[in-house]
């Protein structure tokens, strides 16, 4: 079989070196084929001379070979793996204890509601509790007291009524002072003192009195009741889902109590043993992950031995099947162990997880939909209260700016100097006295009996009166307590963590019905079986020995020779690339290159170089090529660079890319030229050694000619048997 393969290969070989000549392209093709044959024969000779093993040869195609070990040989698979029967029986019992699908769906829905509620925490944040408590305290009795009683009790009504007179008085004093020819220090001190007192009332006392009365909620940047309403509205829309949680805790306990037998499995030796076996199998499977089918097939093996080629094909087929089936079975097996592990974990931590969820601490019967309806009816009153409070604060801010006499404070003293009097008068002249009439008309339009401030306060009070009549304060306190309780529940330290753990564990109950222990263990057994079968194929391949062949064992080329041939082939390729890329430019218009500094040197070189090559005949010795290359002188690098720059920046012809390809090949040949002659020499030496070895085989196969006219011994002593004559058949002419 081995010798048959050799004859086939020899039929592909070539004539002796002196048999003829050819083009460089034809010689290049011949040497490449010789290189391939030489590599094959070298591999065989290394194998026959025991310089490499069969495993080394196989690793050329399968880098991870042999992939298998004997680690799973001790696993019993035909009579059932250890613990298999017990675990299968256990899983049958599990299926008899399954919870109804309806209960499971309700529990899963409960977890989804909990997750949704936890996600709503930012949206039901109604602001700092202190703001709400302050508001409730302020509103507690505000709306139940008569408006007149509130304003009279703190003197607000009187102050509001007299404030325009104070402003008018200040205006008159300023006019009198400014009309005086020689204002005195006492006059200035008196006017400024009156102005500062008025400022104190407007800036300090009025806001304080209003706030005491409940009119002004200072520094209100948001309406906390609106946030309360939004939170209640949001929860009202979730009531159908929240109602699911009323029996949620009880159903969780039912599952936990019915599945407590799983707690015993944590120390079950059968579960442990089967899981350990699976870990062993997975560990032994790791090398198989590097397996890849050779892209070029097994032609090299075919040239070595048909038996070997057949075994490698069978091995590759086994590996592909094994890889696919292991991938399929491993999912089922892993699902089985993950499910049992989760079940054990669930029961083990069940009670602790239940406690962490704080389900017993919240009353899920709270109906936020009713709260929303009542809050909706109260919202307009509260909105009016806050809106008018902000309006009042806005008007007071405007008044504060008008009566701001802080800059005159330095002149409120006795005995002002003449210069200080002049300074004070100059500042007073800058006051626009007409603005007094504008502000007076604004705060008391059309000379009505009460001021604008009182109008705002009456609106506030009317809104709060309606709010109080609807028992709004008590209702707000109730809703606030409900929301606070819900917030406390949702902020339960471990609720979010427990939900994230419990939900997938409960989900295990759904999956448990789909887990097939028999299929999982069958997959494990089949995996072990395929593993062993693969190991047997490896042992069979490793044990193979080729038949002895003295001729191949005498193959003379070593690794250096093979590399020499390979490097020489690359050298010829670099020459041919220049030759062929120039031939692509046969229609190049020479006139287009006249402006390039480097073109003439390149053109002269390449026409001579390619012209010589095209007229030369070559044989495998390539002596004439080597002689020619020894005389070659390349253009300077600067000339090549200049030509390339010209092409990239100025050339506008249609052979742009062809020219750049030619320049690239020319530069590559020039850069590697220093080693090129050595590479060609080493290559031809390797080819010569190969051809000499090949010719020895052909000589040994020629039959020696024996002249029987000179001797009757040896083969000439064997009588020649002729067919018997038939008298009825005419005698034919016969010549020796």
pLDDT at 18: 33
Name which of 549, 564, 558 is nearest 697 in CA terms: 549
Name which of 599, 540, 582, 547 is nearest 669 in CA terms: 582
Q: Which residue has the higher pLDDT, 603 or 1?
A: 603
**Strand-pair partners of 618:** 22
**Strand-pair partners of 22:** 618
pLDDT tier, 262 (very low <50, low <70, confident <90, very high otherwise)? low
DSSP assignment of 416-445: --HHHHHHHHHHHHTS-THHHHHHHHHHSG
pLDDT at 360: 74
Phi, psi of 22 (to 5 degrees): -165, 175
Phi, psi of 220 (to 5 degrees): -80, 115
Phi, psi of 501 (to 5 degrees): -85, -45
* Least confident among 10-14, 30-34, 545-549, 692-696: 10-14
Alpha carbon distance 700, 686 (integer Å):
22
pLDDT at 159: 60
Q: Is residue 77 within 8 Å of 533, Cβ to Cβ?
A: no
Cα 628–Cα 634–Cα 636 angle in degrees, nearest 5: 170
* Least confident among 40-44, 464-468, 503-507: 503-507
Quick: pLDDT tens for 525-539.
777 778 778 778 887
**Residue 179 clears pLDDT 80, i.e. is over it:** yes
Highest mean pLDDT out of 65-69, 115-119, 548-552: 548-552
Alpha carbon distance 514, 511 (integer Å):
5
Which residues, in sequence order, are CB contacts of 578 under 8 Å at separation 6+?
A: 606, 609, 610, 662, 665, 666, 669
Helix axes 472-490, 368-402, angle to 10 degrees: 110
Q: Which residue has the higher pLDDT, 244 or 563?
A: 563
Q: Is residue 178 within 8 Å of 428, Cβ to Cβ?
A: yes
pLDDT at 181: 83
Alpha carbon distance 593, 651 (integer Å):
8
pLDDT at 706: 60
Structure tokens at 414: 């006795």
Give the mean model confidence (pLDDT) for residues 50-68: 75
Q: Which residue has the higher pLDDT, 584 or 66?
A: 584
Which residues, in sequence order, are CB contacts of 20 under 8 Å at separation 6+?
A: 619
Quick: pLDDT tens for 96-148.
555 666 777 777 788 888 888 888 887 777 666 776 777 777 776 666 666 66
Highest mean pLDDT out of 24-28, 69-73, 101-105: 24-28
Cα R_g (the chain), whole angstroms: 53
For residue 142, give the DSSP letter: G
Which residues, in sequence order, are CB contacts of 479 under 8 Å at separation 6+?
A: 228, 232, 371, 375
Q: Is 403 left (phi over 0), alpha (psi -120 to 50) or beta?
A: alpha
* Least confident among 257-261, 392-396, 540-544: 257-261
Alpha carbon distance 690, 45 (integer Å):
13
Q: Is 493 left (phi over 0), alpha (psi -120 to 50) or beta?
A: alpha
| HSE value, Cβ hemisphere, 13 Å, CA-based, for 123 | 11
Give the mean model confidence (pLDDT) for residues 51-63: 77
Give the mean model confidence (pLDDT) for residues 250-267: 68
Residue showing tokens 């604060």? 393
Residue showing tokens 């222990």? 517
pLDDT tier, 473 (very low <50, low <70, confident <90, very high otherwise)? confident
Residue showing tokens 């609807």? 470
Cα-Cα-Cα-Cα dihedral sign, residues 162, 164, 166, 172: negative
pLDDT at 354: 66
Strand spans (E) along 64-134: none
Q: Is residue 301 within 8 Å of 58, Cβ to Cβ?
A: no
Q: Which residue has the higher pLDDT, 580 or 164?
A: 580
Mean pLDDT over each residue of the chain, to the nearest integer? 76
Highest mean pLDDT out of 383-392, 394-403, 625-634: 625-634
Domain ranges for the chain: 4-52+560-701, 84-114+240-357+509-533
**Residue 35 clears pLDDT 80, i.e. is over it:** yes
Q: Which residue has the higher pLDDT, 411 or 514?
A: 411
Cα 646–Cα 652–Cα 655 angle in degrees, nearest 5: 90
pLDDT tier, 293 (very low <50, low <70, confident <90, very high otherwise)? low
3-state secondary structure at position 22:
strand
Name which of 387, 369, 402, 291 is nearest 65 in CA terms: 291
Alpha carbon distance 300, 41 (integer Å):
10
**Residue 584 clears pLDDT 60, i.e. is over it:** yes
Q: Which residue has the higher pLDDT, 7 or 100?
A: 100
Number of residues that make up the chain? 736
Quick: pLDDT tens for 633-678.
999 999 999 999 998 988 888 888 999 999 999 999 999 998 999 9
**Residue 39 clears pLDDT 80, i.e. is over it:** yes
Quick: pLDDT tens for 587-630.
787 777 878 888 989 999 999 999 898 888 888 888 899 999 99
3-state secondary structure at position 67:
coil
For residue 723, give the DSSP letter: P
Name which of 590, 597, 712 is nearest 643 in CA terms: 597
Q: Which residue has the higher pLDDT, 304 or 453?
A: 453
pLDDT at 685: 94
Structure tokens at 433: 């006295």
3-state secondary structure at position 12:
coil
Residue showing tokens 């000499």? 692
Alpha carbon distance 123, 121 (integer Å):
5
- If one counts every other C-beta atom within 10 angstroms of the C-beta of residue 326, the result is 21
pLDDT at 736: 42
**Residue 572 clears pLDDT 90, i.e. is over it:** yes
Give the CA distances from residue 735 to residues 400, 598, 708, in Å, rounded to whole numbers and listed in that order. Answer: 147, 77, 17
SS (H, E, C) 562-620: HHHHHHHHHHHHHHHHHHHHHHCCCCCCHHHHCCCCCHHHHHHHHHHHHHHHHHCCECC
pLDDT at 95: 57
Cα 406–Cα 411–Cα 417 angle in degrees, nearest 5: 155
Helix axes 269-285, 306-356, angle to 10 degrees: 140
Structure tokens at 406: 């802080």
pLDDT tier, 722 (very low <50, low <70, confident <90, very high otherwise)? low
Structure tokens at 305: 């031995």
pLDDT at 17: 33
Give the mean model confidence (pLDDT) for residues 442-449: 68
pLDDT at 192: 84
Q: Which residue has the higher pLDDT, 96 or 205?
A: 205
Q: Which residue has the higher pLDDT, 289 or 176?
A: 176
**Residue 564 clears pLDDT 50, i.e. is over it:** yes
**Residue 297 clears pLDDT 60, i.e. is over it:** no
With pLDDT > 90 as the criterion, what percentage of the chain qualifies?
A: 11
pLDDT at 126: 65
Structure tokens at 196: 């500062």
Give the mean model confidence (pLDDT) for residues 582-591: 82
**Residue 365 clears pLDDT 90, i.e. is over it:** no
pLDDT tier, 62 (very low <50, low <70, confident <90, very high otherwise)? confident
Q: Is residue 42 within 8 Å of 557, Cβ to Cβ?
A: yes
């Amino acid at each position: 079989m081995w010798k048959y393969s050799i004859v086939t290969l020899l039929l592909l070989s070539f004539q002796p070196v002196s048999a003829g000549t050819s083009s460089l392209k034809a010689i290049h093709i011949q040497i490449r084929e010789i290189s391939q044959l030489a590599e094959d024969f070298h591999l065989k000779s290394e194998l026959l001379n025991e310089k490499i093993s069969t495993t080394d040869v196989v690793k050329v195609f399968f880098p991870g070979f042999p992939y298998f070990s004997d680690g799973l040989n001790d696993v019993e698979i035909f009579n059932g793996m250890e613990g298999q029967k017990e675990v299968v029986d256990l899983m049958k019992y599990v299926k008899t204890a399954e919870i109804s699908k309806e209960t499971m769906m309700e529990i899963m829905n409960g977890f989804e509601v909990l997750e949704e509620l936890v996600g709503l925490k930012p949206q039901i944040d109604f602001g700092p509790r202190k703001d709400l408590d302050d508001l409730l305290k302020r509103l507690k009795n505000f709306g139940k007291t008569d408006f007149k009683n509130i304003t009279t009790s703190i003197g607000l009504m009187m102050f509001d009524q007299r404030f325009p007179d104070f402003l008018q008085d200040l205006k008159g004093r300023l006019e009198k002072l400014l009309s005086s020819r020689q204002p005195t220090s006492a006059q200035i001190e008196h006017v400024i003192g009156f102005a500062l007192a008025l400022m104190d009332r407007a800036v300090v006392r009025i806001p304080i009195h209003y706030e005491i009365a409940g009119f002004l909620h200072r520094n209100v940047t948001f309406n906390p009741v609106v946030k309360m309403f939004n939170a209640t509205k949001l929860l009202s829309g979730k009531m159908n889902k929240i109602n699911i949680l009323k029996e949620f805790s009880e159903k969780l306990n039912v599952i936990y109590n019915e599945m407590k037998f799983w707690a015993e499995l944590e120390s079950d030796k059968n579960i442990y043993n089967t899981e350990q076996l699976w870990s062993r199998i997975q560990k032994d499977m790791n090398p198989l992950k590097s397996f890849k089918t050779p892209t070029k097939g097994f032609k090299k093996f075919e040239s070595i031995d048909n038996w070997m080629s057949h075994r490698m094909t069978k091995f590759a087929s086994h590996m592909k099947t094994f890889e696919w089936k292991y991938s399929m079975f491993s999912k089922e097996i892993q699902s089985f162990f993950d499910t049992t592990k989760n079940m054990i974990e669930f029961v083990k931590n069940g009670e602790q997880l239940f406690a962490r969820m704080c389900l017993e601490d919240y009353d899920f019967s709270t109906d936020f939909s009713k709260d929303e309806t009542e809050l909706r009816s109260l919202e307009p009153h509260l909105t009016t209260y806050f809106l008018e409070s902000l309006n009042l604060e806005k008007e007071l801010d405007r008044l504060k700016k008008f009566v701001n006499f802080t800059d005159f404070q330095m002149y409120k003293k006795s005995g002002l100097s003449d210069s200080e009097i002049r300074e004070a008068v100059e500042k007073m002249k800058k006051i626009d006295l007409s603005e007094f009439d504008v502000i007076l008309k604004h705060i008391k339009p059309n000379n009505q009996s009460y001021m604008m401030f009182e109008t705002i306060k009456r609106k506030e009070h009317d809104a709060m009166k309606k709010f109080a009549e609807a028992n709004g304060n008590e209702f707000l306190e109730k809703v606030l307590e409900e929301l606070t309780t819900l917030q406390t529940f949702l902020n339960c330290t471990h609720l979010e963590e427990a939900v994230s753990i419990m939900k997938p564990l409960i989900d295990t109950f759904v999956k448990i019905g789909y887990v097939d222990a028999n299929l999982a263990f069958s997959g494990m057994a089949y995996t072990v079986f395929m593993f062993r079968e693969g190991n047997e194929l490896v042992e069979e391949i490793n044990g193979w020995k080729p038949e002895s062949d003295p001729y191949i064992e005498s193959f003379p080329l070593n690794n250096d020779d093979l590399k020499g041939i390979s490097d020489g082939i690359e050298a010829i390729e670099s020459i041919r690339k220049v030759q062929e890329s120039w031939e692509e430019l046969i229609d190049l218009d020479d006139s287009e290159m006249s402006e390039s500094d480097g073109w003439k040197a390149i053109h002269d070189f390449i026409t001579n170089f390619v012209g010589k090559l095209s007229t030369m005949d070559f044989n495998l010795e390539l002596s004439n090529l080597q002689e020619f290359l020894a005389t070659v002188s390349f253009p300077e690098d600067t000339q090549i660079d200049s030509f390339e720059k010209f092409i990239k920046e100025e050339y506008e012809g249609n052979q742009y890319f062809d020219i750049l390809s030619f320049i690239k090949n020319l530069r590559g040949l020039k850069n590697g030229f220093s080693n090129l002659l050595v590479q060609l020499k080493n290559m031809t030496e390797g080819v010569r050694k190969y051809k000499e070895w090949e010719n020895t085989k052909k000589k040994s196969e020629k039959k020696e000619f024996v002249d029987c006219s000179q001797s009757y011994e040896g083969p000439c002593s064997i009588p020649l048997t002729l067919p018997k004559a038939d008298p009825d058949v005419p005698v034919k002419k016969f010549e020796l």
